[in-house]
Amino acid sequence: MNMETTTPFRPGHLPEQVAFDRKELGVILTLYGRMVAAGEWRDYGISCLREVAVFSIFRRTAESPLYKIEKRPKLRHKQGMYCVIGMDGQILKRGQDLKAVLRVLERKLIRAVE
């Protein structure tokens, strides 16, 4: 039995689990690192579920997340597959380009540094 068996990607077929790829994680973790250095964020968590991947950002470990960055591939042709959700559940930004969506959080970094 081949140990490297994977389900091939087929157009129109979603994988059994949604995850952030290396490039997406690089973009997210670059922002995360800058916010940690500014003293704004302290912890994160990643959840990979059937329809959504979530990067949760915490000020303190025991709290609920300040922000959630979600990837929902089913919405890629509609509102965009990336979104940033605030602590209160409000969608702060949604779109196709992850860097553009994360700009809503970069503005908070600029305010924190000032």
Structure tokens at 13: 């077929």
pTM value is 0.78
Confidence of residue 1 (pLDDT cuts 50, 70, 90): very low
Mean pLDDT over 52-63 rounds to 85
Per-residue pLDDT tens over the stretch 7-46: 455 555 555 788 899 999 999 999 999 998 988 888 999 9
* pLDDT at position 60: 75
Confidence of residue 53 (pLDDT cuts 50, 70, 90): very high
Per-residue pLDDT tens over the stretch 69-93: 999 988 888 888 999 999 888 999 9
CA torsion angle 52 45 80 109 (round to 10): 170
Q: What is the secondary structure of 43-82 as a DSSP string? A: EEEEEE-SS-EEEEEESSTTSPPSEEEEE-GGGTTTT-SE
What secondary structure letter does DSSP report for 73?
Answer: G
Instruction: Indicate if the pLDDT at residue 6 is higher than 50.
Output: no
Q: Give the H or E element holding residue 111.
A: helix 98-113
